[in-house]
């Protein structure tokens, strides 16, 4: 079964001098996004987000990178940590490859949102990234992965 | 002044040179005191988690490269190359990135990785 391991990344920061030092952890994945047949552009920071219903990308970012997105739009309401949000979206597909599995092309259902700015990283959400991969989060520290790791295997 | 380039033209010329394969040591992001400090701080945390064990060289390098981008290009869109020697930022800003994508042949830019270097995770 094709598989790969990703480190969990860590960053300490100090957003408020009166508050504690904060520590953020994230699971980020470099993906090669298909722009045209045979042309894949690397994007550094896809985030694996099990709290996200959909794989989501800023429509502005997609257009800038040349990713083909559909013309048809619809409205999508979602619940975020900031409350309910209503967004104009385009339902499409994202075709990606990963460094560790160069022979595999993955086709992800993707919601391109006009309301997400290009500075927000693309999210790999449950629908349908989790249909393609089984992933296991292992927080146990090792010398290679001191902040833990995530094991991915194709289904 | 004759013979000098405007900042946008200068950065376009630099990007063209790098993508053409003419890479110089000064193109790499330098490992500054701030980069070292942030990396050491994370590795101290790693040692705590490892209960005194040492993180591997690969883990240290990964953290250092993350901090190189965070220190030199915080909250910026970048396109960069990465090799055994370090990281070379080729373009910054959405306008420049769009220009490179639209005008530079794919074969020359296929290794350029794009992303936003967020200081907030």
The residues spanned by each domain of chain A are: 22-154
Whether residue A155 lies within 8 A of chain B, CB to CB, comes out as no
Lowest-pLDDT choice from A3-17, B37-51, B70-84: A3-17
- For residue A44, give the nearest of B62, B115, B120 by CB distance: B115
Does pLDDT of B24 surpass 70? yes
Report strand pairing: B77-83 vs A22-26: unpaired
How many domains is chain B built from? 1
pLDDT tens, residue by residue, A38-82:
999 999 999 999 999 999 999 999 999 999 999 999 999 988 888
What end-to-end distance do the CA atoms of chain B give, in Å?
43
Q: Any idea which architecture A22-154 has in CATH?
A: Beta Barrel (2.40)
How far apart (Å, rounded) are the C-alpha atoms in residues A134 and A155? 6
User: Given an 8 Å threshold on Cβ–Cβ distance, is B59 in contact with A26?
Assistant: no
The residues on B that touch A, with CB distances below 8 Å, are 38, 41-43, 45-47, 49-50, 53-56, 58-59, 62-63, 66, 70, 75, 77, 94, 97-98, 101-102, 106, 110-116, 118-121
- For residue A10, give the nearest of B42, B97, B114 by CB distance: B42
pLDDT band at B8 (very low <50, low <70, confident <90, very high): confident
Residue B121 inside a domain? The answer is: no
Residue B1 inside a domain? The answer is: no
pLDDT band at B4 (very low <50, low <70, confident <90, very high): low
Q: Please tell me the predicted confidence (pLDDT) of residue B57.
A: 98
Please report residues of A whose CB lies closer than 8 A to that of B101.
Answer: 41, 64-66
How far apart (Å, rounded) are the C-alpha atoms in residues B93 and B105? 19
Q: Please tell me the predicted confidence (pLDDT) of residue B11.
A: 86
pLDDT tens, residue by residue, A109-125:
999 999 999 999 999 99
Query: Distance of CA B108 to CAs A131, B9, B19, B99, B100, Å?
Result: 34, 19, 6, 14, 10
Closest CA in chain B for residue A10: B42
ipTM: 0.91
Buried b (16+ CB within 10 A) or exposed e, B51-70: eeeebeeebbebbbbbbbbb
Q: Please tell me the predicted confidence (pLDDT) of residue B5.
A: 64
What is the share, in percent, of chain A residues with pLDDT greater than 70?
100
Q: Across the A/B interface, how many CB contacts are shorter than 8 Å?
A: 89
What backbone phi and psi angles, to 5 degrees, belong to A131? -80, -25
* Structural domain harbouring B27: 7-116
Q: How far is CA A104 from the centre of its chain?
A: 18
How far apart (Å, rounded) are the C-alpha atoms in residues B61 and B4? 37
Q: Please tell me the predicted confidence (pLDDT) of residue B63.
A: 96
pLDDT band at B12 (very low <50, low <70, confident <90, very high): confident
């Amino acid at each position: 079964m094709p598989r790969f391991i990703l480190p969990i990344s860590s960053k300490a920061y100090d957003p408020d001098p009166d508050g504690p030092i904060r520590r953020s952890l994230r699971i980020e994945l470099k993906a090669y996004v298909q722009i045209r047949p045979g042309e894949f552009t690397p994007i550094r920071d896809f985030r694996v987000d099990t709290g996200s219903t959909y794989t989501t990308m800023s429509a502005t970012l997609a257009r800038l990178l040349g990713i083909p997105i559909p013309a048809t739009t619809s409205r999508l309401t979602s619940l975020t940590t900031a409350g309910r949000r209503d967004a104009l979206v385009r339902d499409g597909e994202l075709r990606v490859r990963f460094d560790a599995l160069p022979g595999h092309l993955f086709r992800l259902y993707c919601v391109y949102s006009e309301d997400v700015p290009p500075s927000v990283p693309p999210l790999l959400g449950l629908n349908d990234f989790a249909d393609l991969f089984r992933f296991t989060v292992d927080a146990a520290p090792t010398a290679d992965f001191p902040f833990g790791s995530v094991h991915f295997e194709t289904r | 002044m004759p013979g000098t380039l405007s900042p946008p033209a200068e950065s376009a010329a630099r990007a063209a040179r790098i993508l053409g394969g003419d890479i110089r040591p000064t193109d790499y992001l330098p490992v500054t005191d701030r980069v070292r400090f942030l990396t050491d701080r994370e590795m101290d945390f790693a040692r705590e988690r490892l209960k005194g064990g040492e993180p591997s060289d690969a883990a240290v390098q990964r953290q250092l490269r993350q901090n190189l981008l965070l220190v030199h290009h915080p909250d910026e869109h970048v396109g960069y190359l990465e090799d055994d020697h370090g990281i070379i930022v080729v373009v910054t800003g959405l306008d420049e990135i769009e220009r490179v994508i639209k005008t530079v042949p794919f074969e020359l830019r296929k290794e350029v990785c794009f992303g936003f270097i967020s200081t907030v995770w």
